[in-house]
Amino acid sequence: MPKMKTKSGAKKRFKVRSSGAIKRSQAFKRHILTKKTTKVKRQLRGMLTVHESNTAQVRAMLPYA
């Protein structure tokens, strides 16, 4: 059987923690930052876990993670 391919966009965006949870970065922090307040930009820092309703979809895109 051929190997399954990992979605290259998903491998750049998601990492699997040792607990099995998938971490992701926050959206809305790339550009057009001048109109966003400092509080909003500060709250967009850091990583979050993928919601449990979406974890199956992300795991399908990362078959070997």
pTM over 0.85: no
CATH class of the region 8-61: few secondary structures
Say how far apart CA 36 and CA 28 lie, in whole Å: 10
At 1 the pLDDT is 87
Q: What are the average pLDDT values for consecutive 10-residue runs of the chain, which has 65 residues? A: 95 96 96 97 97 97 94
